[in-house]
Amino acid sequence: MTAQQPEFDASAFVKSQIDEIAQRLGSERAIIAISGGVDSTTCATLAYKAAGKNLLCIFIDTGFMRLGEPQKVKALLSKRPLALPIRIVRAQERFIEAIGESGDAEEKRKAFRETFYKTLSETAKREDCHFLIQGTIAPDWIETKGGIKTQHNVLEQIGINSKERYGFTIIEPIANLYKDQVRAVAKYLGIQREISERQPFPGPGLLVRCVGRIEPSKLKTLKRSTQIVEKYLATAGGQQFFAAVLDKATEDHPAKEALQKQVSEYLKIQSREVKVNILRNRATGVKGDVRAYGRIASVSISKKQREVHGWLIEKLRQLQSKLTSENPELTRILYTIKEGKDGAPYDVAVRAVETRDFMTADIVAIPWAILNAIAKEILKKCPNVAHVYYDLTPKPPATIEFE
């Protein structure tokens, strides 16, 4: 690990965890669901060293994966040096059905979690696996326990008995580590950089970036936008960068006019050249350690002013801080990069943050030219997008993901 954490010893950690897994399993079989991210892959590698053929690795295709992801992950992990045997379990329809019409972030996450464990449980029973190995890390259980958001892989910490409910006992080898420590373990284990340095992809996948109700065309727009954002930001996007899709619908909120005035005064731009909207969708945030399922405001300044002022990133950063401080309901501020067709049903938000451990995050000052290019390509390839925004909000008061 880097000079910053001289105390964390990856080699001692690996040795003790392999011993512990082997001891707990004895001659029993175990199952693990792999996403191809660094957490689950690191856990699978540890468990494979401890259990060998007694470990069953599956990849659950939830339908909320990025384009081509299941195949890509399988190919990558089956390769040496990992050589993990992986089975893909298709469950797209099940997940779509379970989430249904719900537009509420927590309901969606809970439906996802339930379907995820049911699917796992069925496979485990069929294959006679009495243990589940899981890549839960510290922020997962901290956020779930603290009521900030339901992570898909947290059960026992909140009092759900997995043995009774799903028939397996859970082993969580890396539950006390943070992301940067997991990466150190992955590196030590010889896991490819492609995985060890891969940006995290949330358990529920694109579900938490498809804000509000799930619709097939909305999800398709998200998948396309995700591909575009990842292409442009691979080298300039901080530790995590992605796209989220929102409904274009706005609310006639009583605070709108006051907000518009605040923005115009702060940016010193005439009121008629400033537009503030409150979106109908809500997003998850955290204010003073309390979950805040708050309002999203979008700020636009006229095209002419955008050209005159250029990318006011520092000014906008402070504006964001002022707006979320003075308006208790607001947890997210989006800034318009480019407009598409007015009648289009969706908006896309681009988000890029830098973080060490995903507990706090700051936004990245992506150059305006790159944001412009991203927005242009999204609008071209997704004609049902009305606005492309850049998310100005750090964590706190927002969380990294939208839901």
- Each residue 229-268 as x (binds other proteins by CB under 8 A) or -, in order, gives ----------------------------------------
x/- letters, 172..211, toward other proteins (CB under 8 A): ------x---------------------------------
**Among 28-36, 41-49, 152-160, 284-292, which window interacts with other proteins (CB under 8 A)?**
284-292
Provide the token pair at 248: 């274009």
> Considering the complex, what minimum distance in angstroms separates the CB of residue 6 from other proteins?
7
From the number of C-beta atoms within 10 Å of its C-beta (0-12, 13-18, 19+), residue 352 rates as buried
> Could you say which residues in the range 343-362 bind other proteins, by CB under 8 A?
355-357, 359-362
Binding residues for other proteins restricted to 107-146, rule: CB under 8 A: 138, 142-143, 145-146
Asked if 78 interacts with other proteins (CB under 8 A), we say no
Looking at beta carbons only, is 56 or 286 nearer to other proteins?
286
Task: Mark the segment that binds other proteins (CB under 8 A) among 30-38, 42-50, 273-281, 321-329.
Answer: 321-329
314: contact with other proteins by CB under 8 A: no
Of the candidate residues 2, 3, 6, 307, the single one contacting other proteins (CB under 8 A): 6
Residue (164 or 314) nearer to other proteins, CB: 314
* 376-395 residues near other proteins, rule: CB under 8 A: 393-395
CB of 392 to other proteins, least distance (A): 10
Residue 65 Cβ vs other proteins, minimum distance, rounded to whole Å: 28
Where does this chain bind other proteins (CB under 8 A)? Answer: 4-8, 138, 142-143, 145-148, 178, 286-290, 317, 321, 324-326, 328, 355-357, 359-362, 393-397
